[in-house]
Every structure is written in C-alpha cells, then in structure tokens.
C-alpha cells in the first residue's frame, strides 16, 4: 500500500464544484489581485482568530519580512529566534539588515527554550541591543505564550509569532481562549499548499491587534505607498491574489473540522504505537492541557535505532516521510559569519538526527495509518 505524506487531491474532490464556480466568477470579473475576495478572507480571518487586523500578502516568508520591517528596528539590533525551524524564520531577520541570535529548543517539545532565552537576555554582551524575538509554533504546537509574554514585558521585547504551521492553534489564559499569533505585535501565517489552511499556490497573511503597526504593514505590501504612487518608504510588492483568497475562504469554513481530523489522526497513531509495542522505541508528540497542537506535522522521535535507516525503510515501502529539519539553521552555510559551530545547540542537533515526520492530513484513513505503523514495527522488530 502506498501512503502519501500529504495529499491535497482528496480534499479537492469535496470542494471542487464550489472552487471551480468561484474561479470562473473571478476570471469573468477581471479583478484578480487585492480585490473583494482578499478583503473577505482578511475579515473572516479576523473573525476566526479574534484579531483586529489581517493583511493578505504573497506568502508566509514575505509576511515575516514585512512584519520585521514594520517594527522599525535599527541596524545592529539583534533578534532572537530558534535554529530548529524553516529557513524563513531566520532569513527575515537578515533580509532586514538585523542579526539573529539563535537559542536552543526545549527537549521533547521542540519549541524555543524560554529559560534559555531569559539567560541570553541577561548575559549576552550586547543585551541592550536585543529588541525582538520570533518564536515559532512548531509543527502546530503552541508556544508557552504566558511565559513568553512575561519575558516580553520584563525585557521590553517586540514579538512576532511565526504561525505558519499553526493557524487555529490556541492557548488559554484562565478561561480566555487566545489564538496563536494574536498576542504579540504580529503573527504571520503561511497558506502554502501543505499548511493546515493551504491554498492552490502561494499565499500568506499578517495579523495584529495593533492598528498603527497594521497600517504600516499594509503600506509595506504595496511598495510603502500610503496612497497610490505616493511612497512614504521603500516597501515590497507582496500581493495575495484573488483566486487563492477565494479558495482559502472556502476552506476556512472547514478549518476547524480539518484540525479536528488531524488531532484524531494523532490519537490513532498513539493508540497504534501502543498496541504494537513501539513505545519503547519512539516518542510521539506530547500535548498540554492549556495550549493546543493542530498537527501540521506529526513528528516522532526515535529513542533507539537509526533514523536514516527508518527513513530509507519507509521510502522503500512507499510511505511518505520527511525530515524536519535535517540541519539546524545555526550550521547553515549562509549563516557562517554568525560564528556558530557544531555543538552549540545540542538539543537542536539531536533533534535533527532523531526525528522523522509521518503521513498526516485530514483525509488519511485508519487503514493507511495501520500500514504505516506496521511498517515501522517491521523496521524495529523485523516482524
């Protein structure tokens, strides 16, 4: 049996007529960028995430670059982030002429280690120049935002939550439900096709409760123009197109259902690993009561065995798999001049060698999951 890591065609079958009718309407109208569908999507995301402002942009990487730029930091300033994430989380800092400071992740949960962040904030030789932090809700798992907001307050930091993998994830402050991405200066979202709310091409969004910063981001997406052809500063061209916005709006109505299904897939994996006696070999993603995991990726950690061999074994058996991420950002060639070296972030480096992603998407069947788990069992136990 062939099991894909991700398959968007199954979902398409269910929304095909609605999507095709909408596209036809857009093409007939002749309005294809930043029109009513982008506006509708922005408004619906504002409602969904309970946030004041949503600004559609071309992709999640641009959302980050624009958000950093809107913070108006000074050349020479530092921004803290994690080395265990997609490249765009750190490149947005460099692309704005600022310097990243990487901080290792927490064991098991793989989000940035906030104790370590505080240690750096206290001891870094240039600590007064650390102005912002970009945490990532990695794989869909919400960062400990209560603790992060305490640090924000105490050290006067700007925060951009990289929410590319976590739209729909929430955390609780008492009874109050707060969406990942909405408690800081900015949250940034990606609509890349594989993401939990994925388009049929690129797309992204910036969310914020700060009106002034939102206005700034809005100008920056159209070359820094507050009025057409009147440029207050040099910005970007980063438009979300109407077709993507319209499709995303159709899918947004079902996002909670998609997330529910992903959570169920995760539950079934856990059940199957246990039934198959695999818990001594692998560690599956843990969740907390007061913050959710929307399972953009289902990433397990090997307690024993060889990850690369398991990877090969799964590939040979036609099971979709991937490594997020094989190399920490601190060791990437393009960041050589930052001066990091092997051994600087042991938890990240260990995660790069011991984690592996398994198939997950809302339409994955239990039969397929059984096959995935059997194939893993076959690797560990030879049965």
CA atoms of 232 and 218, how far apart (whole Å):
12
Binding-residue total with ligand PLP (CB under 6 A): 15
Pairing of strands 186-190, 99-102: unpaired
Active site residue 195: yes
160 bridge partner residues: 186
CB nearer ligand PLP, residue 163 or residue 375: 163
CB nearer ligand PLP, residue 162 or residue 249: 162
Q: Which of 187, 204, 235, 362 binds ligand PLP (CB under 6 A)?
A: 204
Task: Note whether 190 binds ligand PLP by CB under 6 A.
Answer: yes
| R_g of the chain computed on alpha carbons | 21
CB nearer ligand PLP, residue 192 or residue 380: 192
The 8-class DSSP code of residue 306 comes to -
CA atoms of 38 and 35, how far apart (whole Å):
6
CA atoms of 110 and 85, how far apart (whole Å):
9
Structural contact between residues 328 and 84, judged by C-beta atoms closer than 8 angstroms: yes
Q: Which of 164, 217, 243, 245 binds ligand PLP (CB under 6 A)?
A: 164
Contacts of 323 (CB under 8 A, 6+ apart): 307, 311, 352, 355, 356, 357
Task: Note whether 60 binds ligand PLP by CB under 6 A.
Answer: yes
Closest distance of CB 316 from ligand PLP, Å: 27
Closest distance of CB 174 from ligand PLP, Å: 28
Q: How many Cβ atoms sit within 10 Å of the Cβ of residue 156?
A: 9
Task: Note whether 134 binds ligand PLP by CB under 6 A.
Answer: no
Considering 69, 152, 195, 377, which one is annotated as catalytic? 195
CB nearer ligand PLP, residue 71 or residue 134: 134
Task: Note whether 110 binds ligand PLP by CB under 6 A.
Answer: no
Pairing of strands 204-208, 130-134: unpaired
Structural contact between residues 143 and 82, judged by C-beta atoms closer than 8 angstroms: no
Closest distance of CB 277 from ligand PLP, Å: 33
CA atoms of 172 and 177, how far apart (whole Å):
5
Task: Note whether 136 binds ligand PLP by CB under 6 A.
Answer: yes
Which residue stretch of 80-88, 153-161, 231-239, 280-288 sits at the interface with ligand PLP (rule: CB under 6 A)? 80-88
Closest distance of CB 383 from ligand PLP, Å: 36
Q: Which residue has 């490249």 as its token pair? A: 87
Task: Note whether 135 binds ligand PLP by CB under 6 A.
Answer: no
| Residues binding ligand PLP (CB under 6 A) | 59-61, 85-86, 88-89, 136, 162, 164-165, 190, 192, 202, 204
Catalytic positions are 195
């Amino acid at each position: 049996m062939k099991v894909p890591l991700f398959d968007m065609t199954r979902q398409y079958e269910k929304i095909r007529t609605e999507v095709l009718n909408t596209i036809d309407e857009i093409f007939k109208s002749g309005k294809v960028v930043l029109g009513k569908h982008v506006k509708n999507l922005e408004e619906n995301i504002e409602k969904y995430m309970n946030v004041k402002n949503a600004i559609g942009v071309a992709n999640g990487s641009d959302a980050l670059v624009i958000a950093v730029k809107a913070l108006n930091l000074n050349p020479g300033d530092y921004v803290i982030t994690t080395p265990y994430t997609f490249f765009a989380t750190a490149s947005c800092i460099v692309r704005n002429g600022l310097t990243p400071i990487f901080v290792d992740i927490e064991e098991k949960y793989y989000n940035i280690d906030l104790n370590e962040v505080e240690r750096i904030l206290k001891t870094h030789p240039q600590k007064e120049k650390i102005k912002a932090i970009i945490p990532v809700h990695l794989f869909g798992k919400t960062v400990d935002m209560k603790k992060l907001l305490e640090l924000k307050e105490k050290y006067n930091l700007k925060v951009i939550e990289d929410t590319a993998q976590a739209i729909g994830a929430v955390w609780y402050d008492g009874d109050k439900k707060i969406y990942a991405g909405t408690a800081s200066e900015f949250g940034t979202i990606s609509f890349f096709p594989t993401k939990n709310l994925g388009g049929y091409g690129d797309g992204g969004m910036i969310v914020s409760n700060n009106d002034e910063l939102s206005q700034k981001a809005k100008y920056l997406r159209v070359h820094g123009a507050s009025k057409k052809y009147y440029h207050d500063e040099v910005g970007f061209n980063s438009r979300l197109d109407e077709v993507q916005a319209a499709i995303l709006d159709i899918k947004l109505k079902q996002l909670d259902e998609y997330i529910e299904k992903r959570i169920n897939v995760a539950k079934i994996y856990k059940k199957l690993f246990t039934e198959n006696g695999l818990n001594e070999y692998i560690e599956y993603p843990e969740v907390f009561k007061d913050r959710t995991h929307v399972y953009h990726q289902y990433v397990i950690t090997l307690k024993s065995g060889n990850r690369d061999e398991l990877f090969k074994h799964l590939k040979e058996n036609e099971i979709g798999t991937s490594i997020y991420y094989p190399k920490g950002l601190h060791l990437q060639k393009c960041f050589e001049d930052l001066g990091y070296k092997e051994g600087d972030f042991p938890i990240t480096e260990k995660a790069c060698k011991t984690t592996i992603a398994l198939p997950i998407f809302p339409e994955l069947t239990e039969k397929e999951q059984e096959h995935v788990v059997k194939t893993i069992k076959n690797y560990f136990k030879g049965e």
